[in-house]
Structure 1
Amino acid sequence: MLRTRPGDRLDPALLKLAGVLVIGGLAPLLDTTIVNVALDGLSRQLHTTVTTVQWVSTGYLLAFAMSVPATGWAADRFGAKRVWTWSLTLFLLTSAAAGAAWNIQSLIALRVIQGIAGGFMQPVLQTMLVRAAGPRRLGRVLTLVTLAAVIAPILGPVIGGLILSNTSWRWIFYVNVPLCLIALLLAWRHLPAQEPRTTKRLDVTGIVLLSPALAGIVYGLTEVGRYGGFGTTRATAPLVAGLVLLTVFLLYGARRQNAVLDLRLFRVRSFSMSAILLFLAGFSLYGAILLLPLYYQQVRGDSALTAGLLLAPQGLGALLTRWAGSLTDRIGAKPIILSGLLLALAGTVACTRVGTGTGQWYLGAALVVRGAGLGAATVAIVTGAYADLTQADVPNATTMIRIMQQLGGSFGTAALVVILEHATKGSGLADRAAGFATTFWWVTGFSVLALLPALLLPSRERVPGDAR
């Protein structure tokens, strides 16, 4: 059993590094939530259709997915600090340019470039922190960093609503500029220089296979969610193409030693089980984030902004379990993951009782419980993923973790939209409420399924560098 030693405490230099990176990492997280809330208002202010303006979000998402596979190689080839400052600078410039866009077409094009920058930022941020923290302090450091992921969904809808209600849509993008400028200044002054760790060339064949594969899968699942099923060619064609390319890449990567992703990491049980958990978490985590706002709007008649704000208790719950990272460092990831998943399961079961008159206090309490469980489990899962890996494995592992999270979120969102569509059999409020209750039972089932890989996690963690 690992115990925190005096030498394992979070020193000021590590806290400063985490703080500098969190400020920069907050920009793309806030941007995504603000833009998603503002799409309907953007369509009116830019005098275009909702279908067209959706590409402001979809274009960003696809570019984000396509850029992630190259992040591990780039961090090793050019140095993580250099890649971080490059991507942050590009995000700043494209935010300013998007705010000055002259029509919807130019805005979509700029959002695609912005998505490339955003796709690099989160994996590189995580790579720097994992390497700096080491195995015995990782849980506590990740707890600090995930504060940004907790805060963004709460602040984003509020900021987006205030901007559209009181000023020009352009400030949806201009709001990133001061945050990025502060992050760049702090990075220039305080981030330690990190020399390149490899001279190997980029695996172009792997990128050509994997990046379009991820884009096809994410786009196909987005279309599935938009149209509520797999019945349209717009959804199935890119999804099938993406899955075929992904299969080809897996066959290619399994045989190539210097592939863009080192698939041999999946032989490490702690990493492979954590990766599966992060994929399955997409079904559970996005359950409430997707279903409850729709329930508030379609059954209770609330506005989109109000519905978004009513998700705040889940963020509050996540804040209440900030101690989980410290405990993970002391006793290992497995007990924290199991406890967190069971707590999230209890909150999810409570959501299966939604009806036409379900009280907001009841749902708020359920979200606090869910948020507490998911907050604890997520930090422990990511910490456990690195438990048996070496420092050299970190960039590859971080890239794969990000891909599993993204695919899990996309599959989870699409699956739940389809389930909700089929569960809602009538147009009355009672029928709609019953459909949401049924869909939450499916979320409960997915949450139970996540317990299986959690049980297969090693009970004790080794220090990275040990024999596998």
Structure 2
Amino acid sequence: MTHQAAAVPDKLDANVLKVAGVVVLGAIMSILDVTVVSVALPTFQSEFDATYAQVAWTMTGYTLALATVIPLSGWAADRFGTKRLYMLALLLFTLGSVLCATADTIGQLIAYRVVQGLGGGMLMPLGMTIMTRAAGPERIGRLMAVLGIPMLLGPIGGPILGGWLIEAASWHWIFLINLPIGIIALAYAQFALPKDAAEPSESFDFIGMLMLSPGLALFLFGVSSLPETGTITAARVWATMLVGGVLVIGFVLYSFRPRHPLLDLRLFRNRNLTIASVSLFVFVIAFMGAGLLFPSYFLQVRGESTLHAGLLMAPQGIGAMLTMPIAGMLADKIPVGRTVPFAMALIAAGFFTFTQVGTDTSYLLLCGSLFVMGLGMGGTMMPIMTSALRTLTAHDTARGSTLVNILQQIGSSVGAAVMSVILTSRLNGSAPIPGVDDPRTGEPLTEAGVAIAHQQGAQIPVDPSIIQRGLAFVADSFATTFWVGFALVLLTFIPIALLPRKREVSRLLEDPTGDLPKRPATIIH
């Protein structure tokens, strides 16, 4: 039966913006917390007298918790309602943040970060579901542009905020700052989110959960261990990746049997969702992986402070802020296949500059390139997500956003690990300095190691020419790594070329409660 859609306001009305405000607050907390903590790792080392490998688990534990809980979001949203579950996720994340601030040992901090991740993992897929249902099919692009602001600004604002809080107060405040935001978000959610409608109970896929959640966690654990071990032949890397991969493959083969699988891979029969998901996955590996190294270049090669490195990244955020609202409106009116390739061309143009970096590359050129990349970012990620979700029914939205978020999480982890391994392997090829040993390991220090230590304030008595050679080697290592990232960016053009170039027929009825429809609906334009 064909359903005639009611007229949908062209602009985002006050009720929809109220819902968007709740989701953006949650997204800001969960995304900022990843990058804020990344700049605090050296502080954790000295505070808890721990090694870098130990404190890195404050990041890895959070990521693994995200991977474990995201698959449950789709089923739980259908079973308990998006409002109840979103408020529970906010509460869990805020509680985890307060616990992190009370940690006395590195073990406690890692455990509390896992609690934080269990809440944070549900915030993004649930937020996307809530916003998609609230906006209706004709305004998904504009609403996704609103959600995209914290997603793109998190990597930029995090180092700035983290550096300032640690310098002005203490490391505890990078977690305590979430307490007032969390309380406001909870009160706001109770007021602004529509009441949950009763849903028929679907059976929970325990077999699927026992395969997918541990499988994702083990696979990402192996991937996350790559930078530390430096080789895929380490048992900690290949064994966990193998077991995790087997569990995930087992889930894929099994998931088409139950009526209500934990993750509904049948949704990939939707061509738009499949192409958009592949495009997003390749894009996240390419851009997010290499993007994490931009601040590292400013820190290790140019000797900037964490705060200054964060400020130098700001042009990227400014560029994204300029184009994201425009891209959101265009995504609602023009097929994304006609706009996203142009945005990707801007990213590729800006990215190319970083393949040429040296020890004294002009900041004006680098900041200008970051601004151009930001312009492209604002017109890429959210339009692709819009294309992925636009043609799903209201009932499938929670499952679809869960799929998209899992792919994004895996892509980010794989991209970061691959780029870190390439950079580390390059730096390890630096020449050792005869007679100068590392006081911690007793092994000879390399020219690159001494140069990086010098840029970060350490005073090691060596000839200045050694430091200059080391810096040149480090800069060249970054340039080589950026070449790999640039090649991956170019690879992204292949799936993007398959994005829809004709107007998609929306199947998501405007339904703030999520109670309708239970079957595919066709909207007549």
What's the TM-score, normalizing by structure 2?
0.85
Higher Cα Rg, which structure: 2
Whether the aligned pair in 2 keeps the contact of 1:266 and 1:272 (CA below 8 Å) is yes
Give the structure 1 partner of residue 505 of structure 2. 462
Quick one: which of 219, 243, 251 aligns to 2:253? 251
Map of 1:61 onto structure 2: 63
- Does the 8 Å contact 1:282/1:410 carry over to 2? no
Aligned to 2:486: 444
User: Alignment partner of 1:254: what SS?
Assistant: coil
Amino acid at match of 1:42: F
Deviations 1:395-419 (A, max 9, x none): 1100000010011111111222233
Q: Is 1:345 aligned with 2:348?
A: yes
Question: How far is 1:165 from its partner?
Answer: 1.8
Give the partner amino acid of 1:68.
I
Q: CA offset at residue 215 of structure 1?
A: 0.7
Q: Contact conserved, 1:282 with 1:411, CA < 8 A, in 2?
A: no
Query: For residue 412 of structure 1, what is the aligned residue in structure 2?
Result: 415
Per mean C-alpha deviation after superposition, the further-off stretch among 223-232 and 261-270 is: 223-232
Once the two structures are TM-superposed, the CA of residue 377 in structure 1 deviates from its matched residue by 0.7
Asked whether 1:158 is paired with 2:160, we answer: yes
- Counterpart of 1:136 in structure 2 is 138
Query: Is the contact between residue 27 and residue 150 of structure 2 (CA under 8 Å) also seen in structure 1?
Result: yes
Identical counterparts, % of pairs: 40
- Paired with 1:287 and 1:361, the residues of 2 have a C-alpha distance of 23
The equivalent residue for 1:365 is 368
Q: Which runs of 5+ in 1 are unaligned?
A: none
Write the mapping of 1:252-267 to structure 2, written as runs, cut at 5 A: 252-267=254-269
Alpha-carbon distance in structure 2 between the residues aligned to 1:100 and 1:166 = 19
> Residue 80 of structure 1 contacts residue 194 of structure 1 at CA under 8 Å; is this kept in 2?
yes
Q: Secondary structure in 2 aligned to 1:10?
A: coil
Deviations 1:128-174 (A, max 9, x none): 00111111100101111211223333332222222222323222211
Deviation at residue 311 of structure 1 after TM alignment: 1.7
> Contact (CA 8 Å) 1:206, 1:260: kept in 2 or not?
yes
Q: Does 1:313 align with 2:315?
A: yes
Q: Hey, what's the Cα distance between the residues in 2 that align with 1:55 and 1:288?
A: 21
CA distance in 1, matches of 2:351, 2:167: 34
Amino acid at match of 1:265: L
Aligned residues: 464
The amino acid across from 1:149 in the alignment is M
1:71 aligns with 2:113: no
8 Å Cα contact 2:506-2:522 kept in structure 1: no
1:387 aligns with: 390
Superposed displacement of residue 6, structure 1:
7.1
Greater helix percent: which structure? 1
Q: What amino acid is aligned across from residue 395 of structure 2 in structure 1?
A: A
- The structural deviation recorded for 1:76 is 0.6
Give the Cα separation in 2 of the matches to 1:419 and 1:20: 39
Cα distance change on mapping 1:304 and 1:240 into 2, 3 Å: farther
- 2:492, 2:425 → 1: CA distance? 24
Deviations 1:408-456 (A, max 9, x none): 1111112222333444543432222222222222212111111111111
Deviation at 1:103, TM superposition (A): 2.6
CA distance in 1, matches of 2:190, 2:393: 28
Summarize the Cα distance change of 1:266–1:180 in structure 2 as closer, same or farther, 3 Å threshold.
Answer: same
Q: Is the 8 A contact 2:220 2:413 kept in 1?
A: yes
CA distance in 2 between counterparts of 1:457 and 1:20 reads 30
**Matched AA of 1:332:** P
Give the TM-score normalised by the residue count of structure 1.
0.95
Match of 1:430 in 2: 472
Question: In the alignment, which of 273, 276, 279 is matched to residue 277 of structure 1?
Answer: 279
Deviations 1:31-85 (A, max 9, x none): 2221111111022122333222222222111111100000011111000000011
- Counterpart residue number, 2:466: none
Q: Equivalent of 1:82, from 79, 84, 89?
A: 84
TM-superposed CA distance for 1:118, in Å, is 0.7
Query: What is the rounded CA distance, in whole Å, between the counterparts of 2:103 and 2:474 in structure 1?
Result: 40
